[in-house]
Amino acid sequence: MQDRANKNTFTFEMIDRLTEAFAEAGARQDVRAVVLTGYDSYFSSGGTQEGLRDLFEGRYRFTDKDLYSVALNCPLPVVAAMQGHGIGGGFVLGLFADLAVLARQSIYTANFMKYGFTPGMGATLVLPEKLGPALAQEMMLGAGNYRGEELQRRGAPFPVLPRESVLPHALELAASLAEKPRQSLVALKRHLSASLRARLPAFIEQELELHEQTFHQPEVRERIEALFGR
């Protein structure tokens, strides 16, 4: 992902291109693993300010474009090389990968409640699943920023490396995966992700219901205008 002008936020072009790239990779018989990464100090910055305004106005729901599950639903194993900041939905996007590598100095945050609305994109499922319930609840309720090195101290079960080492390590992991037969990788990925895939639709419905309760408050619009990008 490299949309420098928008710092890898979820523009419609980014969503469409990323969805297309995953579909192409999953369909190719000569591909056995996928590495998802960003550029420089950005992995993914989550929703755009315009997108948050559309959610507030009810013109858009995060399920209208299914970006959140592209890594989960990819038939091949996906390694998220989160070398840069993972913000809100951008962090969630990486956590839905099968394997993840974080950077010590980068920021990771589930900052939905910073703007006054409840988490979406399957965050309420995948954060507790990957980080443990206590840390996940703290991240979602408090909406704070966490450096990779702090998440490592708090028990995050991922390699946490200097930023310049994240992508090389992820490529090594992918190369190791690619040594295995493709059919076996697909079968094991399907089995290992089955529980998460089965539970996700119910969590998405619950998150949409919570958005109906929390997104349309005047204070939320004020926060979107005042706090976005800070």
Contact at 8 Å (CB) between 93 and 68?
yes
Distance, CA of 81 to CA of 191 (rounded, Å): 23
Q: Which of 85, 169, 191, 211 is catalytic?
A: 211
Active site (annotated) includes residue 211: yes
Q: CA neighbours within 13 Å on the CB side: how many for 56?
A: 20
- Amino acid in the structure at residue 82: M
CA-wise closest residue to 96 among 78, 76, 120, 75: 78
- Strand, coil or helix: 157: coil
Q: Which DSSP symbol is given to 96?
A: T
Q: What angle do CA 106, 84, 108 make, to 5 degrees?
A: 50
- H or E stretch including 70? helix 70-73
Strand-by-strand arrangement of the 78-82 sheet: 34-37, 78-82, 99-103, 160-161
Contact at 8 Å (CB) between 137 and 107?
no
Backbone φ and ψ for 76, nearest 5 degrees, come out as: -100, 155
Distance, CA of 171 to CA of 175 (rounded, Å): 6
Active site residues: 211
